[in-house]
Amino acid sequence: MSRENYAVFSTAKIGNLDLKNRLIRSATCEYKMAEDGSVTEIVLDIYRKLANGGVGMIITGLMAVTQGGKGVSGQACIDDDRFITQIAKIAEAVHDQDNNCAVIAQLCHSGRQLTHENTTADCVGPTAMPSPLLEKKARELSGDEVETIITAFVNGIIRAEKAGFDGAQLHGAHGYLLSSFLSPYTNQRRDCFGGSTQNRVQIIKAIVERARKAVGDFPILIKVNCDDHVVGGITKASFPELISELSATGVDAIEISGGIWDCLVRSEEELGFVPVPIPESRTQLDKPEKQSYYYSYVNKLNPSVPLILVGGNRNIEALETIIQEQKVDFISMSRPLIAEPGLPERWLQSVGSDKANCVSCNACLLYKDAFGCALKRLKFNRKEFEAGYAGGWKAVFK
C-alpha cells in the first residue's frame, strides 16, 4: 500500500518555495570537498542519490563563509566568487536528478569550535568564554569584526543564489559562531549584539535584512538550538522567546536542534542522554520514546514561520503522527539518509520496515575518511556489525 495520502507526503511551502513533501535531508557535512574548494565526484554522487531517493529538500553540508571560519578539512567554502562555479555543480546535480527536489546551501562560521588542522585562525566568539572542553579560549570579536562577519554571511547568501540553490540556511545551532551569539552562555556582550534575547538575535536580523536588499524573497532559513544542554545556555523554558524573536527577523523557516560541544563534559544523568560527540546526533535511540528527541520542545511555540524538527526521527508512522499534530511543518533527518538515501521513497511505497535502517551508532562520524554508513557496508547485518564493532570499527570500513 502506497502512503501517498499521508500528511508527511503532502506538499507544503517554505517562503516562495514549493516542496513536494515534508521530508528534508538535514545538513550533513561529507568532508569530501577537495582542499582547493573544488567539488569531488564523491560529493556529487551523494547528492544525486539523495535527490533520487524521494526527499523533498536537501540542505547541504556546512559551507564556510570565511576561510578563518572553516572548521574541518574537506568542508566546502563560499567565501569567494571563485567557488560559485564549484558549488553550482551540487545544485545542478540535484536538479538534474529531480527538478522538484529543492536544495539549500548551509552557511557556517565555526566560531569558538574550530578544529581545522591546517588553520592558524583564531577561535572567536561574542565573548572570550573559557571552555571546559576546547583547547583554545575564544577571542572576543570587536564591533567591526562582527560587521565583517555579517557581510560574509550576506555575501554567502548572494553566492548561494548565484550558484542556483533554492535557498540558504544560516547555521545557528550546535555552538558554532551564530549559535554562540544566540546563547546567553557564550554571549555576554554589552553592546547591541548581547544581553536581551532581542539583542542576541540582532546578528541574524542584520544578516537577513541586508541580504534581502540583494536577493529579495530568496528563501533564508536558520537552524538553531532549543537547548544548549549547558548551565546558563538556551533552555526549554527560554526557547519560546527565542523563537518569537527569530520569527521576526524575516527568516523563512526555523529548524530545531540542540547541543553545543561544552555539554559533553556533563554526565548522562545531567543531560538525560549519553554524551557522545557530536551531541546533536544522539545514540541508543532503540526505544520509540528516545526518538524525535526535540519534539517536546515545540509545545509552547507560536511561530509565524514553518518549523522543521530534526534529531532522532526514525519511524514513518511516528513521523506521520507528528505532522498530523501540526506543531511542526517538516521533519528533517541526517543519519537515516546516510544509511539509506532512498528512505523517503521506500517509506512512500511501504517497502520493508516502518523503521529507518540506521541504528544511530555514529560510526559514520568517527571515520570521516570513509564517509558512509558502517552498517550498510555489511548489508545491515547487525550481527556482523557488532562483531566488527567489537574488533574496532576500522575493520568494518575495510
Ligand X SMILES: Cc1cc2nc3c(=O)[nH]c(=O)nc-3n(C[C@H](O)[C@H](O)[C@H](O)COP(=O)(O)O)c2cc1C
Tell which residue, 64, 33, 63, has the closest CA to residue 46.
Answer: 33
Q: Which does 201 bind (CB under 5 to 8 A by kind): ligand SF4, ligand X, none?
A: none
Instruction: Tell which one of 101, 102, 222, 363 touches ligand SF4 (CB under 6 A).
Output: 363
- Binding-site member from 12, 362, 384, 386 for ligand SF4 (CB under 6 A): 362
Q: Measured between alpha carbons, how far is 76 from 65 in angstroms, rounded to an integer?
A: 9
- Binding track, positions 308-347, relative to ligand SF4; x by CB under 6 A: ---------------------------x--xx--------
Our answer to whether residue 176 is catalytic in this structure is yes
* Residue listed under C-alpha cell 569530501: 32
Contacted entry of ligand X, ligand SF4, none for residue 168, CB cut-off 5 to 8 Å set by kind: none
Find the binder of ligand X among 24, 62, 93, 301 (CB under 6 A): 62
> Does 112 engage in binding with ligand X (CB under 6 A)?
no
Using CB under 6 A, which of the segments 24-32, 80-88, 177-185, 387-395 binds ligand X?
Answer: 24-32
Q: Which stretch binds ligand X (CB under 6 A): 34-42, 45-53, 305-313, 380-388?
A: 305-313
Give CA separation, 142 vs 56, 124, 188, 190, 191, in Å: 40, 10, 13, 12, 10
Neighbouring-strand partners of residue 83: none
Please spell the DSSP secondary structure of 369-391, one letter per residue.
GG-S-HHHHTTT-HHHHHHHHHT
375 contacts ligand SF4 (rule: CB under 6 A): yes
CA separation for the pair 148, 206 (Å, rounded): 12
- Interface positions, 183-202, toward ligand X (CB under 6 A): none
Residue 50 in contact with ligand SF4, rule: CB under 6 A: no
When asked if residue 358 is in the footprint of ligand SF4 (CB under 6 A), the reply is yes
Residue 368 is classified by DSSP as G
**DSSP assignment letter at 2:** -
Contacts of 276 (CB under 8 A, 6+ apart): 264, 282, 283, 362
Among 20, 21, 26, 208, binds ligand X (CB under 6 A): 26
| Residue 108 found at the interface with ligand SF4 (CB under 6 A) | no
Give yes or no for residue 221 binding ligand SF4 (CB under 6 A): no
Among 280, 320, 329, 340, binds ligand X (CB under 6 A): 280
For residue 70, state whether it binds ligand SF4 (rule: CB under 6 A): no
* Pick from 180, 173, 169, 195: nearest CA to 102: 169
- The interface partner of residue 361, options being ligand X, ligand SF4, none and the CB cut-off 5 to 8 Å by kind, is ligand SF4
| Identified binder of ligand X from the candidate list 27, 51, 177, 316, rule CB under 6 A | 27
**63-66: long-range contacts, CB 8 A cutoff, minimum separation 24:** 63/87, 63/105, 63/106, 63/107, 63/108, 63/156, 64/108, 64/109, 64/110, 65/107, 65/108, 65/109, 65/149, 65/152, 65/153, 65/155, 65/156, 66/109, 66/149, 66/152
Angstrom distance (rounded) from CA 317 to CA 129: 43
Of 63-71, 214-222, 291-299, 356-364: span binding ligand SF4 (CB under 6 A): 356-364
Question: Binding mask 117-146 vs ligand X (x if CB under 6 A, - otherwise)?
Answer: ------------------------------
Choices 2-10, 50-58, 76-84, 329-337 (CB under 6 A): range interacting with ligand X = 329-337
**At its nearest, how many Å lie between ligand SF4 and the CB of residue 8?**
20
Please give the C-alpha separations between residue 169 and each of 48, 60, 243, 253, 391, in angstroms, as whole numbers. Answer: 20, 9, 16, 9, 39
Interacting span for ligand SF4 (CB under 6 A) from 20-28, 164-172, 323-331, 362-370: 362-370
- Neighbour tally for 363: CB within 10 Å: 21
Read off φ and ψ for residue 289, nearest 5 degrees.
-70, -15
Query: Among residues 6, 31, 47, 176, which one is catalytic?
Result: 176
Q: Give the footprint of ligand SF4 on this chain (CB under 6 A).
A: 335, 338-339, 358-364, 373-375
Residues catalogued as catalytic: 176
